[in-house]
Copies of this chain bind each other. A is one copy, B any other.
Amino acid sequence: MKKFRFRCMNCSRLYEENDVEYTCPQCGTRLGTLETLYDFDNISIKKSDFDSCSDIWQFEALLPVSAKSFRVNLKIGTTPLYRFENLSGVKEVQIKYDGTTPTASFKDRATVIAVNRAVEKNYSSIYCASTGNAAASLAGLSAAAGLKAYIFIPSKAPAAKIAQLMVYNAMILAIDSDYDTAFDLSMKIGEEKNWYCRNSAVNPYLIEGKKTAAMEICVQTEFDPPDTVVVPVGDGTVISSFYKGFSDFYNAGIIKKIPQLIGVQASGANSLELAFKKGEPFWPVDFSGKTIADSINVGKPRDFLKACTYIKKSKGDLISVTDDEILSAQKELASSTGIFSEPAGAASYAALKKLVHENRIEKSSRVCLAVTGNGLKDISAVSSCKTVEHLKPDVQDIKEYLDFKETYGDESYDEN
């Protein structure tokens, strides 16, 4: 048997690597997402093969790439896993912080595999639709790999993410609509142009890169992963990838349990939560989402079937949090730990607080929060919440301002 093959999430048909590029031809783009199966009988890996230092290529035995294939010259992998005692009253909270990747989000883990594949298949152009992070990631890694990137993005994406596209010299297609529309448009045009597709859920290689975050958590906890992992959910690909990483390691005999996965959505864009609650057979509940957390502002989740299936297998659940809860969590996380997350990433901390408040999590448990993007990627929420008062360059004036602030806190200061 080859190193890996694909199985359709819907009809369970099996495909060899070269039989299919993206989704199951029988079941179509939405239902026919593929999962990658490895031949565990012929894969021989052991704990000591891995360390808390190397990049994602240390997991090559469980990646759909060959040892000598193209590798981009940027370090992706082994982001920090921080540990905190009694954060929100939970015994051990771990934070897997992916704000330190080359383009400052989790999405680099997927892009690096897509870029590898595009180069190996002799594509010169690659495209994606994205709320912003996958876009910036594809633009950055394409620049490093010498590929031309075409990016379909909602025109309202945060300025910092668009600046990344500009500086990386990507072709920016800023659509006056939402992510879901940009996605459908990209599929039509990308296929016609014969560009390589880096669209979430459609391209089965992406999740294989993303799963390395879960594998790193195993390595960083000495192969004793946490009881629960909380993951922000838009399309559902990230939480699916956590399951895949843990289950591949479980099937390879590297870990003894698969953590429970809790997906967190914004309450204004919780269609995956709704689909999950309706139960099996899982079916999409699409609507037009609205949340300040742009990275999870998805109304038509592309990976709903895999996400629902895997969350159920992990004995997990999906919950939602309000935008206010997200923003308050973002600030509390930063000011208590020094970790600045973008709003979507902070949703996992908001979820932890809610789960604790509702007694839905054991306080004695070990919980890992996936913080999937750097706060610098979207400062609008932080910047709009208060005005910075400008001070005259005068010692006495500044001291009076300080006295006022130490007495009255956030009340606004009127120097007259």
Interface residues of A (CB under 8 A from B): 51-53, 72-75, 80, 82-84, 100-104, 140-141, 143-145, 150, 155, 159-160, 162-164, 166-169, 171-177, 181-182, 185, 188-189, 330-331, 334-340, 374-377, 379, 382-383, 385-386, 388-393, 395, 398-399, 401-402, 405
Contact = CB atoms under 8 A, between A and B. Distances in A.
B103 A100 contact: no
Interface centre among A338, A379, A395 (most CB of B within 10 A): A338
Interface centre among A103, A172, A382, A389 (most CB of B within 10 A): A382
A327 B176 CA distance: 29
Given A160-B379, A167-B375, A176 B393 contact: yes
B337 A167 contact: no
Contacts of A104: 104, 374, 376
Contact of A401 (B162, B173, B374, B379): B173
Contacts of A150: 402
Nearest to A145: B338
B167 A331 contact: yes
Contact of A160 (B175, B376, B386, B399): B376
A335 B159 CA distance: 18
A4 to B, nearest CB: 27
A183 to B, nearest CB: 11
Instruction: Determine how many copies of this chain the complex contains.
Output: 2
A375 B82 contact: no
B379 A163 contact: yes
A338 B177 contact: no
A84 B173 CA distance: 31
Nearest to A141: B338
A189 B379 contact: no
Contacts of A83: 73
A141 B169 CA distance: 34
A103 to B, nearest CB: 7
A163 B383 contact: yes
Nearest to A377: B376
Contacts of A402: 150, 171, 173, 189
22 contacts: A73-B337, A73-B338, A74-B338, A74-B339, A103-B338, A140-B334, A140-B340, A143-B335, A144-B338, A150-B402, A160-B376, A162-B388, A166-B386, A167-B340, A167-B382, A168-B338, A169-B331, A169-B334, A173-B402, A175-B392, A175-B398, A185-B393
